[in-house]
């Protein structure tokens, strides 16, 4: 049967979107609580249930508990940065394989190449808004 | 007879046990437990320079508040609350004891007796030993 | 306001605070890549977050700052004070904007282009007017002036403004109304463990909780007391559990309110740094005990006074580098903050090694303000005169600088501190520096306390002050001796000075006769111990410490008062206050000054034992060295092989007569001073023990007679000070195997490291006699800890064989630290063959002396100390 999930649509439309698909789980990894919260809102509106991690080490821990459908991974973090975390998560060989999107502020080709080679599926430029994120997730067929 | 403005009085009680403070100022009779708070007991007799005999004294405690702290005045007894016309207040007579003049805020004549009104703040201005 | 925005403000403010501290650290250690990495990441995150929320002003400023940091990281730009100042300015600007946002919820209108241009100019390596110069030129150092000047310079040089801020995408957050009632999205089941590790709670909520917990604790105490009266009923176990739960609850909530004092100090490095740059001085800020916790309310109240005092030190106290060098001080001035717990109080010490208070100026000001008259001033000591700065409206600052405001507002500082039941003291020596000591009671703290009774009145002593409890009576082994009417207690190898609580508080004298048991509570004050005699000892109880009423603050004995489980009010004793008061009392009574021995660790005075010897005047020996006083039966003394010995505690103890005139009694008693070390004892036979007094070690050293260190005026009389080493050698030739020259040197600081307390107590008085200020440690590890925490030493004298960390390792550790490269170090060891000496030298010792050559040890040591301290240019450098 259909399952209905009402999201907290804070942005833009006043209409409440209802979804006929079970929500997916996204892990947001970023050292800024503000950005995590911001992203969470966007994702909630797109039928995602969200988890947060402050840095790579915490992200790896979280993945041990629940396998995310999607990971939004920031680059610059304390303890363990984005690239190291990416490698660690891929090394865990989680099933089903989560999509990992690197969030980068710099459109620097070598870095992007490195990330993709290490197992990232996509990258997205910070700061992003609802539309940019939506497009990217659609590309990945997550929504 | 002495009086204090009733607005300054928080409560009146018969003290249970007063814990003495050895080494404290002579006016401080001790400390009591007032509903969970520790309140300093000021011996009004000593403060007013009146002699008193012996250890055990019966009396009552009149609790006042000053500058955020509570104190209680140990007195011989407590009488009524009286309302007196403000314009019948007189200045302390020159013959009044110097210390009392210092601590008082004027006098009233009540039934041929002199009622000395005490200024609570000044009564409590006991200089602690430095 | 929008949740997201609130989160942003909180998070970013915290990041800025961290940035402040880290930047100052980085300025000192520009090669530390870790710190720089951290700083860069913080700034980068701030910039990124601003982008998300559509905050262009903030993003632009953050970007400019990040740019410079990037250049640091890539080695393209030097880390100069100018550059760091600019970044700090960027941080201040961000803070400003955030502050406005807190009010309005949106970025305020404003212009940052001047600041950004400045920063970008710096980043591209172009010359920017020195901030310091700009500030000093105009009287008052207004920061804005510097900026304006920079702007003008810019315009003149016609520099193009560089790098526009990154393109801003307007996210939908702008259109968002405050979150609807059905607020945040539900937290997912698998929330990451790393999300938000702290929450914010309203202070009132915590207050209420604290009060409730206090009531709970008291009720629990009442229940426990009631239950004690009844044996083995079904309440016992649940009550115990309740008790544990309550204790844990209480711990948790108390901890909630406590914050480390480091929080109040967080801003100080930046403040001192800015001040130093602005006034062109070099100032070091040392902060010790930053994790000392105190109640948050108290923290709030003392935060400003502390900042004020540190500013004063930096601004008026510390002299400019040239002046300091001319005065023989290191170029950089040091301001030291030290916080610690003791006797149920928090102590905070703020000291500097600057020019000290100008007594003359204070004198003049005091008279000018009509606070005192000339004749009155004449009777006052310098220390008394400087106390005037605590009076209202007192300021002797020559120039009012914008830096620390109107000079001194110490009256406000004192009032604020006294309002919370604290006290502040100050001492100052012109040319050397000023020290403030703040003492604050641990309010609302629930502590464990020992309940004792004297003259039927009960008191509480905080458990942390109680080292030991000893029962004494006439019958037992342990008994109270009296020396010239002052009670002392033999406690293992030491004599413990005692204070009678009854006597101190003028309570009724003990009616009952001898044979009764009383108790001695051994307390510790500073580094010295003393005992308090009480009649009875009850249990240890948990009590809520409440500060005494202001009226009672003058009484030094009490650290607070409390209500026990049975509802009775009792006073909490303050061992520190008792020790001080006891000292005063004995001085007044003219009794023996034994009590003052408790202050040994605090001041540079020593307790002496005076004894009489036949045929000569009074002699003195430092009390610390004496293990016991004995009155031996003459009959028990045996004469064996030319020596006198006695069976003493299961071994044969040698007795040495003080001088050749000594007559061993055929019958009766022989007074003996026993010295012990590492299990060996020796008795010095004297005529009689006279007194114990206390005095500064102002010894005139002389080498006239063997067995004497010199002489001193003790309690008004010229008295010879005995060199115990000499007698020890007579007793045991290998105890360690003098003539001392008189020498007077300026007071310098020595650190003596030896695991033998006896040996330390031997060397220390000798050094003190030579006008050294001495600190001692039992092993290398402890010594290192002391060196870290204390003011710098001029010399270190160390043993080699020690537990935990021996002398060779210790020396190596010292030499590895660049602070102590040139510190003179002397080794003193029982092993001193050529190989040992070489090893010692290799490890880093400048001189290596043998303990075996005991008679000449003082002389050798003195000579060695001279040699090493003169050879090195080391002079209390930081």
Segment C790-809 shows an average pLDDT of 87
* Contact across the interface for C551 and B23, Cβ inside 8 Å: no
Counting residues of chain C whose pLDDT is more than 70, the rounded percentage is: 74
Segment C571-585 shows an average pLDDT of 76
Classify residue C96 as exposed, middle or buried by CB count within 10 Å of its CB (0-12, 13-18, 19+).
middle
Top mean pLDDT of C515-519, C642-646, C657-661, C677-681 is at C642-646
Selecting from C505, C546, C570 the residue whose C-beta is nearest the C-beta of B23 gives C505
> Cα(C440)–Cα(C867) distance, rounded to whole angstroms?
45
In chain C, which residues touch A (CB < 8 A)?
3-4, 7-8, 11-12, 38, 41, 44-45, 47-49, 51-53, 168-173, 175-176, 179-180, 182-185, 188-196
Q: Chains A, B in contact: 3+ Cβ pairs under 8 A?
A: no
pLDDT tens digits, C177-232: 333 333 333 333 333 333 335 666 766 677 778 777 877 877 787 787 777 777 76
- Chains in contact with chain B (at least 3 beta-carbon pairs closer than 8 A): C
Cβ atoms within 10 A of the Cβ of C516, count? 11
* Contact across the interface for B25 and C551, Cβ inside 8 Å: yes
Q: Which residues of B touch C555 (CB under 8 A)?
A: 21, 23-24, 128-129
Using the predicted structure, report yes or no on whether residue C255 has a pLDDT greater than 80.
no
CB C673 within 8 A of CB C629: yes
Using the predicted structure, report yes or no on whether residue C487 has a pLDDT greater than 50.
yes
Mutation target among A16, A27, A33 for the C interface, most CBs of C within 10 A: A33
CB B91 within 8 A of CB B74: no
Which residue on chain A is closest to C189 by alpha carbon? Answer: A51
* Contact across the interface for A51 and C192, Cβ inside 8 Å: yes
pLDDT, greater one: C695 or C168: C695
Mutation target among C10, C49, C200 for the A interface, most CBs of A within 10 A: C49
Q: From the centroid of its chain, how far is CA C862?
A: 30
Counting residues of chain C whose pLDDT is more than 90, the rounded percentage is: 12
CB C847 within 8 A of CB C826: yes
pLDDT tens digits, C822-871: 888 999 888 778 888 888 888 989 888 888 766 677 777 878 887 777 65
Using the predicted structure, report yes or no on whether residue A34 has a pLDDT greater than 50.
yes
pLDDT category at C698 given cuts 50, 70, 90 is low
- How many contacts (CB atoms, under 8 Å) link A and C? 116
Residue C350's closest CA among C362, C339, C340? Answer: C339
Per the prediction, chain B carries an average pLDDT of 82
pLDDT, greater one: B50 or C798: C798
Segment A30-40 shows an average pLDDT of 89
- Detail the DSSP E strand segments found in C49-201: none
Segment C334-339 shows an average pLDDT of 92
Q: What is the pLDDT of residue C178?
A: 34
Q: What is the pLDDT of residue C582?
A: 66
* Contact across the interface for C569 and B21, Cβ inside 8 Å: no
Q: Which residues of A touch C52 (CB under 8 A)?
A: 34-35, 38, 126-128
- Which residues make Cβ contacts (< 8 Å) with residue C227, sequence separation at least 6? C233, C235, C236, C239
CB C192 within 8 A of CB A61: yes
In chain B, which residues touch C (CB < 8 A)?
16-17, 19-25, 28, 30-33, 36, 38, 40, 69, 71, 124, 126, 128-130
Q: Indicate the pTM of the whole model.
A: 0.42
* Contact across the interface for C194 and A62, Cβ inside 8 Å: yes
Q: What is the pLDDT of residue C293?
A: 80
Q: What is the pLDDT of residue C773?
A: 82
Q: Chains C, A in contact: 3+ Cβ pairs under 8 A?
A: yes
Segment C119-142 shows an average pLDDT of 53
> Cα(C227)–Cα(A50) distance, rounded to whole angstroms?
53
In chain C, which residues touch B (CB < 8 A)?
215, 218, 457, 504-507, 546, 549-555, 557-558, 561-563, 567-571, 581
State the Cα angle at C200 between C198 and C206, rounded to 5°. Answer: 115
Q: What is the pLDDT of residue C170?
A: 32
3 state SS of C145: helix
Query: Quick one: tokens of C814?
Result: 């010292």
> Cα(C473)–Cα(C462) distance, rounded to whole angstroms?
25
Segment C38-51 shows an average pLDDT of 90
pLDDT tens digits, C533-549: 998 898 887 777 777 87
CB C607 within 8 A of CB C592: no
> Cα(C785)–Cα(A75) distance, rounded to whole angstroms?
41
Phi, psi of C333, rounded to the nearest 5 degrees: -80, 155
Segment C585-611 shows an average pLDDT of 50
pLDDT category at C16 given cuts 50, 70, 90 is very high
């Amino acid at each position: 049967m259909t399952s209905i999930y009402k999201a907290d649509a804070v942005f833009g439309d006043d209409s409440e979107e209802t979804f006929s698909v079970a929500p997916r789980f996204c892990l947001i990894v970023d050292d800024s609580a503000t950005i995590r919260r911001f992203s969470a809102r966007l994702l909630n509106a797109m039928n995602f249930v969200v988890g947060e991690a402050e840095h790579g080490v915490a992200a790896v821990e979280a993945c041990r508990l629940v396998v995310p459908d999607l990971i939004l991974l920031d680059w610059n973090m304390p303890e363990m940065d984005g690239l190291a975390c990416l490698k660690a998560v891929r090394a865990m060989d989680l099933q089903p394989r989560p999509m990992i999107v690197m969030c980068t502020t710099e459109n620097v080709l070598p870095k992007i190449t490195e990330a993709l080679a290490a197992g990232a599926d996509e990258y997205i430029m910070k700061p992003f808004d609802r539309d940019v994120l939506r497009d990217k997730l659609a590309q990945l067929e997550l929504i | 007879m002495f009086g204090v403005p009733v607005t300054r009085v928080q409560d009146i009680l018969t003290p249970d046990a007063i814990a003495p403070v050895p080494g404290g100022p002579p006016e401080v009779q001790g400390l009591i437990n007032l509903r969970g708070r520790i309140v300093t007991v000021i011996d009004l007799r000593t403060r007013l320079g009146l002699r008193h005999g012996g250890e055990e004294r019966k009396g009552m405690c009149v609790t006042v508040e000053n500058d955020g702290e509570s104190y209680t005045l140990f007195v011989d007894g407590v009488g009524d609350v009286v309302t007196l016309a403000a314009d019948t207040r007189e200045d302390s007579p020159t013959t009044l004891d110097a210390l009392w003049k210092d601590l008082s805020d004027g006098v009233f004549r009540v039934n041929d007796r002199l009622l000395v009104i005490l200024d609570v703040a000044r009564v409590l201005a006991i200089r602690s030993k430095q | 306001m929008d949740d997201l925005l609130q989160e942003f403000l909180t998070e970013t403010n915290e990041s800025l605070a961290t940035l402040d501290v880290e930047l100052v650290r980085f300025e000192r250690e520009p090669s530390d890549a870790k710190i720089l990495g951290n700083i860069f990441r913080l700034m980068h995150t701030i910039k990124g977050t601003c982008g998300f929320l559509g905050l262009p002003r903030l993003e632009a400023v953050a970007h400019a700052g990040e740019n410079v940091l990037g250049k640091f990281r890539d080695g393209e730009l030097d880390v100069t004070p100018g550059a760091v100042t600019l970044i700090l300015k960027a941080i201040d600007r961000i803070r400003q904007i955030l502050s406005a946002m807190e009010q309005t919820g949106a970025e305020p209108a404003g212009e940052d282009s001047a600041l950004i241009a400045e920063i970008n100019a710096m980043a591209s390596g172009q010359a920017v007017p020195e901030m310091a110069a700009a500030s000093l030129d105009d009287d008052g150092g207004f920061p804005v002036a510097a900026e304006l000047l920079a702007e003008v310079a810019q315009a003149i040089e016609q520099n193009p403004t560089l790098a526009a801020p990154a393109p801003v995408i307007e996210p939908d957050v702008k259109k968002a109304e405050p979150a609807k009632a059905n607020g945040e999205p539900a937290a997912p089941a698998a929330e990451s463990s790393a999300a938000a590790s702290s929450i914010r709670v309203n202070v009132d909520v915590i207050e209420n909780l604290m009060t409730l917990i206090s009531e709970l604790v008291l009720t629990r105490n009442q229940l426990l007391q009631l239950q004690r009266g009844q044996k083995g009923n079904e309440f016992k176990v649940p009550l115990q559990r309740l008790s544990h739960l309550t204790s844990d609850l209480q711990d948790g909530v108390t901890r909630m309110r406590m914050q480390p004092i480091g929080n109040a100090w967080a801003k100080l490095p930046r403040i001192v740094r800015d001040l130093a740059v602005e006034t062109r001085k070099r100032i070091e800020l040392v902060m010790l005990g930053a994790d000392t916790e105190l109640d948050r309310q108290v923290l709030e109240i003392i935060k400003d006074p502390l900042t004020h005092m540190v500013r004063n030190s930096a601004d008026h106290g510390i002299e400019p580098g040239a002046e300091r060098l001319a005065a023989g001080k290191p170029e950089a001035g040091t301001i030291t903050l030290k916080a610690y717990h003791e006797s149920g109080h928090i102590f905070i010490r703020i000291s500097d090694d600057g020019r000290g208070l100008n007594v003359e100026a204070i004198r003049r000001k005091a008279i000018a303000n009509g606070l005192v008259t000339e004749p009155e001033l004449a009777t006052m000591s310098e220390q008394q005169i400087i106390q005037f700065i605590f009076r209202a409206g007192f300021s002797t600052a020559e120039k009012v600088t914008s830096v620390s405001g109107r000079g001194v507002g110490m009256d406000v500082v004192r009032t604020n501190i006294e309002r919370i039941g604290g006290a502040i003291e100050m001492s100052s020596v012109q040319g050397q520096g000023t020290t403030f000591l703040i003492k604050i009671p641990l309010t609302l703290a629930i502590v464990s306390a020992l309940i004792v009774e004297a003259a039927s009145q009960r008191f509480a002593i905080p458990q942390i002050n109680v080292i030991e409890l000893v029962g004494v009576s006439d019958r037992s082994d342990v008994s109270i001796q009296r020396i010239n009417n002052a009670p002392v207690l033999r406690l293992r190898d030491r004599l413990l000075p005692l204070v009678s609580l009854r006597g101190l508080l003028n309570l009724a004298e003990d009616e009952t006769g001898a044979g009764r048991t009383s108790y001695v509570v051994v307390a510790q004050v500073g580094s010295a111990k003393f005992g308090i005699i009480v009649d009875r000892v009850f249990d240890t109880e948990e009590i809520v410490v409440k500060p005494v009423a202001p009226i009672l603050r003058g009484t030094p004995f009490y650290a607070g008062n409390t209500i026990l489980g049975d509802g009775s009010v009792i006073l909490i004793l303050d061992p520190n206050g008792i020790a001080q008061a006891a000292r005063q009392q004995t001085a007044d009574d003219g009794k023996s000054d034994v009590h003052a021995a408790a202050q040994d660790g605090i001041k540079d005075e020593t307790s002496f034992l005076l004894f009489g010897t036949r045929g000569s005047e009074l002699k003195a020996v430092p009390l610390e060295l004496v293990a016991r006083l004995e009155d031996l039966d003459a009959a028990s003394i045996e004469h064996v092989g030319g020596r006198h010995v006695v069976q003493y505690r299961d071994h044969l103890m040698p007795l040495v007569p003080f001088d050749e005139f000594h007559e061993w009694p055929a019958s009766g008693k022989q007074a003996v001073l026993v010295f012990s070390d590492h299990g060996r004892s020796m008795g010095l036979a004297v005529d009689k023990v006279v007194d114990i007094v206390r005095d500064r070690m102002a010894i005139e050293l002389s080498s006239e007679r063997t067995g004497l260190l010199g002489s001193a005026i003790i309690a008004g009389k010229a008295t010879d000070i005995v060199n115990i080493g000499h007698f020890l050698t007579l007793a045991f030739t290998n105890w360690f195997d003098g003539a001392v020259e008189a020498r007077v040197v300026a007071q310098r600081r020595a650190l003596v490291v030896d695991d033998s307390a006896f040996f330390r107590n031997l060397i220390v008085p000798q050094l003190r006699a030579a006008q050294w200020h001495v600190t001692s440690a039992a092993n290398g590890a402890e010594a290192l800890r002391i060196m870290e925490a204390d003011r710098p030493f001029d010399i270190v004298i160390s043993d080699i064989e020690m537990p935990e960390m021996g002398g060779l390792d210790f020396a190596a550790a010292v030499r590895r630290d660049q602070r102590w490269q040139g510190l003179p170090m002397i080794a003193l060891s029982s092993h001193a063959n050529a190989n040992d000496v070489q090893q010692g030298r290799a490890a880093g010792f400048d001189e290596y002396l043998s303990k075996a050559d005991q008679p000449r040890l003082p002389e050798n040591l003195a000579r060695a100390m001279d040699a090493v301290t003169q050879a090195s240019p080391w002079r209390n450098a930081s």
